[in-house]
Amino acid sequence: MSTPNITTHEVFNQPAPLAGYNLFDTNHALRDALRFNAPQLDTAPLHTLGAALGTADMQAHARLANVHTPELHTHDRFGRRIDQVEFHPSYHALMSAAVGAGLHGLPWAGEGASPHVQRAAGFMLFTELEPSILCPISMTYAVTPGLRGNAAVYGEWAPLLQSRVYDPRLTVYRDKPGVTMGMGMTEKQGGSDVRANTTQAVRDGSDAWGERYALTGHKWFFSAPMCDAFLVLAQAPAGLTCFFLPRVLPDGTLNAIRIQRLKDKLGNKANASSEVEFHGASAWLVGEEGRGVPQILEMGTMTRLDCALGTSGLMRQALALALNHTAQRSAFGKLLIDQPLMKNVLADIALESEAATALAIRLARAFDRQDNAHERLMARLLTPVAKFWICKRGSHLAQEAMECLGGNGYVEEGGEGVMARVYREMPLNSIWEGAGNIMALDLLRGLRKGDAAAALAQELAPARGQHAALDRLVDALPARVEAMATEMEARRLAQDVALAVQAALLVQTAPAAVHAAFCASRLGGDWGHAFGTLGAGVDFDAIVQRAMPVA
């Protein structure tokens, strides 16, 4: 009896990976947001960056940097303390690309029109490729305002912080063409309550960098410990104070910073987050003694911007992966993307992604215009609002996008394995730099600055008359803002301010199909409690086609 010739392992109906495309050119939502918020911006560098980040080679670096996670070496083979973290070469390749694009310091180098917006767009694009290496990039960007509190240190370090050359060596700053910086606030007994910090600072003389102190204590979360220096908080005689803490001292010796261990995190795998102890570590005063929280929060404000930008970038990547998969995979006789229910889901997450992009870029515009009173107030209000709402929505969107891929989205290998990495990364930005409750409470504090109700009314006025549901929300917000809500209602107020601003922006920047569907669903109640519950009157094809990552 002959054995039939049967092929048991013919591979078909498996989508090709999303690679070899330009992340910027195909992101219509981002490009329209840039035209609205920074019409004079030269987008050529973003086109170049988008092309580089979409290559298979850069995607390989992103995978390898996450698979081969950082390793801590506390001592050398002779028993000498070294406190160094070793990274895979792909980590350094990604860092070189991010620094080379100016994502760490472009706004401070005086380059071009709307530098914060340009840098924000680049940051979002890079997040689509690999978000976790952007932790030291974000902190280096954010450190400049706070570091100005020590003119001597700032004068020597600012040019290096703006340099587009990445140098990972652990050596004295004078011998490096470029440096990175981090920060250390959180301690295990306090968390967000940094005033509970116990690290002690004792006066230790003065030198060319000003007042020097010896720090003794610990930090529970000390991300990117291989940065060249950090801004940290410690208790000085006058109270909680901000200090500049270099890894290598001016004389070339290692500072007394002991890395105890690296955190084993849910995501953010390529980045080293650590616990450290200070054993009389040398640090220099930044600002005034006892004014450490407002001094270092100048840095925190900008990292909160990056949380909104980063999550928006991850949303776009999750959406792009879902669209790429469903446009190639068939079920029940036709492509998934043509199945009505799948089309509803894809259009719904596309609306969420575009709204996040619009709000995040609008916030970046406020940082470019700090000489304008309205923009200063909007930066104060929209920073906690954008971080709260965009980061909350990110995890929900990632789960739904992963479901579009089915089991393929849940595995860690291949092109579609990127979805698992995106999903694991999503919760981080919601937690980092203050979780949801901290952001909602910060909004309440911001409402006490200037005439917040009038500022919001001015912001929303251009969108009036475009959708009845938006008009109703705009009419109701001033009274709620004037009342400044109770703490119990702070999250709801943050949500509604975010939705109102997102809708107003989409009315001004997006096609009618997009802003009509957003207003009808998010504001008008024609929506369910999960993605994929848009009303039947939505122009699904127009929304999905606009969001496609490839032509």
Report the C-alpha gap between 502 and 523 in whole angstroms.
11
| Per-residue pLDDT at 329 | 95
- For residue 152, being part of any structural domain is answered with yes
Shared domain check, 384 and 261: no
Residue after which a domain boundary falls, among 162, 196, 217: 162
CA separation, residue 275 to residues 124, 218, 284 (Å): 28, 7, 21
Shared domain check, 281 and 192: yes
Which CATH number is 261's domain given? 2.40.110.20
Spell out the alpha helix ranges (H) of 369-489.
373-405, 418-431, 436-446, 452-460, 468-483
Non-local (6+) Cβ contacts of 538 within 8 A are: 344, 347, 513, 516, 517, 520, 521
Helix 115-129 with 89-100: angle, nearest 10 deg: 160
Shared domain check, 456 and 351: yes
Shared domain check, 157 and 179: no
pLDDT in tens, the chain (551 residues): 566 677 778 888 999 999 999 999 999 999 999 999 999 999 999 999 999 999 999 999 999 999 999 999 999 999 999 999 999 999 999 999 999 999 999 999 987 889 999 999 999 999 999 999 999 999 999 998 899 999 999 999 999 999 999 999 999 999 999 999 999 988 887 777 777 889 999 999 999 999 999 999 999 999 899 999 999 999 999 999 999 999 999 999 999 999 999 999 999 999 999 999 999 999 999 999 999 988 888 788 899 999 999 999 999 999 999 999 999 999 999 999 999 999 999 999 999 999 999 999 999 999 999 999 999 999 999 999 999 999 999 999 999 999 999 999 999 887 778 999 999 999 999 998 889 999 999 999 988 877 888 999 999 999 999 999 999 999 999 888 877 778 889 999 999 999 999 999 999 999 999 999 999 999 999 999 999 999 999 999 999 999 999 86
Shared domain check, 454 and 505: yes
Shared domain check, 448 and 310: yes
Q: Which of 125, 228, 212, 220 is nearest to 173 (CA)?
A: 228
- For residue 1, being part of any structural domain is answered with no
Give SS3 for 265.
coil
Residue after which a domain boundary falls, among 272, 290, 308: 290
- For residue 18, being part of any structural domain is answered with no
| Per-residue pLDDT at 2 | 64
101 Cα distance to chain centroid = 16
Residue after which a domain boundary falls, among 290, 325, 349: 290
Considering its fold, how many domains does the chain have in total? 3
Domain extent for 134:
28-162
- For residue 2, being part of any structural domain is answered with no
| Per-residue pLDDT at 1 | 58
Is-contact 543 514, C-beta < 8 A? yes
Shared domain check, 286 and 316: no
| Per-residue pLDDT at 38 | 97
Report the C-alpha gap between 323 and 342 in whole angstroms.
10
Q: Which of 459, 472, 317, 313 is nearest to 390 (CA)?
A: 313
Cross-strand partners of 505: none
pTM value is 0.96
Which CATH number is 384's domain given? 1.20.140.10
